[in-house]
Amino acid sequence: MTINEKSIHTDFTNNMTYGEYLGLDQLLSSQHQLSGHHDEMLFIVIHQVSELWMKLIIHEMEAAIRLIQQDELQPAFKMLARVSKIQTQIIQAWDVLSTLTPAEYMEFREKLGQASGFQSYQYRQIEFLLGYKTAHILTIYQKDQQLHDILEKVYHAPSIYDAAIGALARAGFPINPDLIGRDYSVTYTVDPTVEAAWLLVYADVEKYWDLYQLAEKLIDIEDSLQQWRFRHMKTVERIIGFKMGTGGSSGVQYLKKVLDHRFFPELWDLRTKL
């Protein structure tokens, strides 16, 4: 059977192509290997793809925060659901990277110098958007003032959990007033009024359906982030064992430690208290 698609465009002399729209010339020429080792391309591509996914996560989360602050929860849910789907892609990327063996990685690891995923500014931006604020992290980015300014702005801005707590207050729950307009550069810690509010939401799901959905969307995101952190830790352990990271961190030990941090503590605690 012959298929004749006469309408397919073939002349792009005066029209934009697929590659031009996506900037593929620049994108596909951005893999600069520093060694002659075959597997360095894998290492570069995996990290670049993850950074592209993180760019989309930031795009969706920033928009979701604005919508939650305006009590436009339904469109925010779509964005947060998309974030969760993106996270599955980033988690699965570790499966591809784990095909890199320790012997293969040692062939080019020294070429990285002090460059490390620890310095990923987009990952730090995601942490800030989720509410984990660490001042010393900002010093890593002093080399680039524009980048430092972007991160500092997010550092002082309300996180998505701050936005959710604001939604609880506007819904009539007696939230601690000190939490509204607080110093958002300080990492949030458990507050009994927030815990009490979420318990009421979960006790009457039908009445507080939108807030209940919001809480579960946040749990989805934190759950996936912790899965990503765990796969990161195990992949690093599989490839370099307990060596120090190229960025100067303790490597696996550092990655194990951050697994203990919780972004939305009351949403986890209430499961025991319901």
Q: Which two tokens stand for residue 236?
A: 């690093």
Nearest to 130 by CA among 211, 205, 219: 219
Q: Is 46 annotated as a binding residue?
A: yes
On whether 45 is known to bind a ligand per the annotation, the reply is: yes
- The reply, when asked if residue 43 is annotated as ligand binding, is yes
Q: Any known ligand binding at 109?
A: yes
Q: Which two tokens stand for residue 25?
A: 């010339």
- The answer on whether 246 is annotated among ligand-binding residues is yes
On whether 47 is known to bind a ligand per the annotation, the reply is yes
Has 232 been labeled as part of a binding site?
yes
Cβ-based neighbours of 27, under 8 Å, separated by 6 or more: none
Binding-site residues from annotation for heme: 232
Q: List the binding residues for substrate.
A: 43-47, 105, 109, 246
| Residues in binding site | 43-47, 105, 109, 232, 246
